[in-house]
Amino acid sequence: MSIHSTAIISPKAELAKGCEIGPYCVVGEGVVLGEGCWLQHHVSLSGPCVVGKRNQFYSFASIGQRSQDLKYVGEPTHLEIGDDNTFREFVTANRGTAPNAKTTIGSRNNFLAYCHIAHDCIVGNDVIFSNNGTLAGHVTVEDHVILGGFTAVHQFCRVGRFAMTGGCSKIVQDVPPFMIADGNPARIRGINKVGLERHGYTAETLRHLKESYRLLYRSDLNVAQAVEQIRAELPDNPELDHLTEFVTRSGRGIIK
- The residue from 64, 69, 96, 119 that is catalytic is 119
pLDDT at 29 over 90: yes
pLDDT of residue 151: 98
99-128 pLDDT tens trace: 989 999 999 999 999 999 999 999 999 999
pLDDT of residue 206: 98
pLDDT of residue 82: 98
132-175 pLDDT tens trace: 999 999 999 999 999 999 999 999 999 999 999 999 999 999 99
Q: CB atoms < 10 A from the CB of 196, how many?
A: 19
| Angle (CA) 79 84 89, round 5° | 70
Strand ordering across the sheet containing 134-135:
8-9, 26-27, 44-45, 62-65, 92-94, 116-117, 134-135, 152-153, 170-171
pLDDT band at 195 (very low <50, low <70, confident <90, very high): very high
pLDDT of residue 124: 98
Give me the mean pLDDT over the 64-87 stretch: 96
pLDDT of residue 2: 96
pLDDT of residue 54: 98
Residue 42 annotated among the catalytic residues of the structure: no
Question: Are residues 76 and 67 in contact, defined by beta-carbon separation less than 8 angstroms?
Answer: no
What percent of the chain is predicted at pLDDT more than 90?
99
- The residue from 28, 34, 82, 137 that is catalytic is 137
pLDDT band at 1 (very low <50, low <70, confident <90, very high): confident
Alpha-carbon distance 31 to 233, whole Å? 51
Mean pLDDT of the chain: 97
Residue 119 annotated among the catalytic residues of the structure: yes
C-alpha neighbours within 13 Å on the C-beta side of residue 9:
19
Alpha-carbon distance 114 to 150, whole Å? 9
Number of residues in the chain: 256
Architecture of the domain whose range is 2-138:
3 Solenoid (2.160)
Alpha-carbon distance 18 to 13, whole Å? 15
Residue 220 annotated among the catalytic residues of the structure: no
Question: Are residues 29 and 15 in contact, defined by beta-carbon separation less than 8 angstroms?
Answer: no
Question: Are residues 163 and 145 in contact, defined by beta-carbon separation less than 8 angstroms?
Answer: yes
Q: 197-248 adopts what CATH topology?
A: Udp N-acetylglucosamine O-acyltransferase; Domain 2 (1.20.1180)
Phi and psi (nearest 5°) for 140?
A: -115, 130
Domain borders along the chain are 2-138, 197-248
Please give the distance of CA 251 from its chain centroid, rounded to a whole number.
Answer: 18
Is 222 buried (19+), middle (13-18) or exposed (0-12) by CB count in 10 A? exposed
44-59 pLDDT tens trace: 999 999 999 999 999 9
Give me the mean pLDDT over the 61-73 stretch: 96
Alpha-carbon distance 174 to 222, whole Å? 16
pLDDT at 183 over 90: yes
Question: Are residues 6 and 24 in contact, defined by beta-carbon separation less than 8 angstroms?
Answer: yes
Alpha-carbon distance 82 to 77, whole Å? 17
CA–CA distance from 254 to each of 49, 190, 197, 243 (Å)?
33, 14, 24, 11
- The residue from 69, 120, 174, 182 that is catalytic is 120
Question: Are residues 108 and 124 in contact, defined by beta-carbon separation less than 8 angstroms?
Answer: no
Give me the mean pLDDT over the 87-93 stretch: 98
